[in-house]
Amino acid sequence: MWHRSSEVFVLMGTAVDAATRDTNGSLIEKNPTVVFVLGGPGSGKGTQCANIVQHFGYTHLSAGDLLRAEIKSGSDNGTMIQNMIKEGKIVPSEVTIKILQNAMLESGNDKFLIDGFPRNEENRAAFEEVTKIVPAFVLFFECSEEEMERRLLGRNQGREDDNIETIRKRFKVFVESSIPVVEHYKSRGKVRKIDAAKPIEQVFQAVKTVFTVHNDKAVA
């Protein structure tokens, strides 16, 4: 499976590169504001992103949802993505970035919450290199593993990956892969940490403060 997926990606490489260059030029002209939203599985990112969209006018782009939609489309790209996810591999940065770029361009907006990406340092570096976009800041939802497990096991959304073994594996991957991204941006003063273990409304009050301060600085 892995070898076949790799071959598909290599064959697609030149086409993806060319399309990305064209897309990137249009995206730079748009001069978008990007906020990365990071947090472990079950940290409440989706719920808070919906609140941010409603109150601050951002467009929410979930990398996971976009990848699942690509898989559902039945395209060659979707088949490759599905195979890699089944094997526990992270989808190549170029593929995810291309999907994100298309979604940003198709939106009529210039303010975006990118949820669940970058997943690791390689994702982060590739995003900045390809798009020439540096996030305005990173919204990091901090929550204990125990609390995230409780939430995921109780949400009953029918997702195949909502079982204790897979949840713990996902959390381990998040800590090993995504925390270095948080640390990178923290060293640049771009991380806004939110205590995600609190009730939803209290969490959003903290989120609102972050965005209000950012907007005030942007106006100033």
- On whether 78 is known to bind a ligand per the annotation, the reply is no
30 carries a ligand binding annotation: no
64 is in an annotated binding site: no
68: annotated binding-site residue? yes
Task: Confirm whether residue 43 is marked as ligand binding.
Answer: yes
Q: Is 192 annotated as a binding residue?
A: no
Is residue 180 marked as binding?
Answer: no
Q: Check the annotation: does 88 bind a ligand.
A: no
Q: Alpha-carbon distance 217 to 144, whole Å?
A: 31
Q: Comparing C-alpha atoms, which of 119, 115, 23 is closest to residue 62?
A: 115
Nearby residues of 149 by Cβ (< 8 Å), 6 or more positions away: 42, 164, 167, 168, 171
Give the helix/strand (H/E) hosting 73. Answer: none
Query: Would the annotation count 155 as a binding residue?
Result: yes
4 annotated to bind ligand: no
109 in a labelled binding site: no
135-144 exposure pattern, b = at least 16 Cβ within 10 A, e = fewer: bbbbbbbebe
Residue 112 host element (H or E): strand 111-115
90 is in an annotated binding site: yes
Does the annotation flag 198 for ligand binding? yes
Is 170 within any annotated ligand binding site?
yes
Do 43 and 36 touch, CB atoms closer than 8 A? no
124 is in an annotated binding site: no
Q: Is 21 annotated as a binding residue?
A: no
164 contact partners, CB below 8 Å, separation of at least 6: 149, 153
Q: Please check if 46 is assigned to a binding site.
A: yes
Q: Is 26 annotated as a binding residue?
A: no
Q: Is 208 annotated in some ligand binding site?
A: no
**Binding-site residue ranges for CMP:** 123
Residues placed in the known binding site: 42-47, 68, 89-91, 116-119, 123, 155, 159, 170, 198
Which residue positions form the known binding site for ATP?
Answer: 42-47, 155, 198
Binding-site residues for a ribonucleoside 5'-phosphate, please?
68, 89-91, 116-119, 159, 170
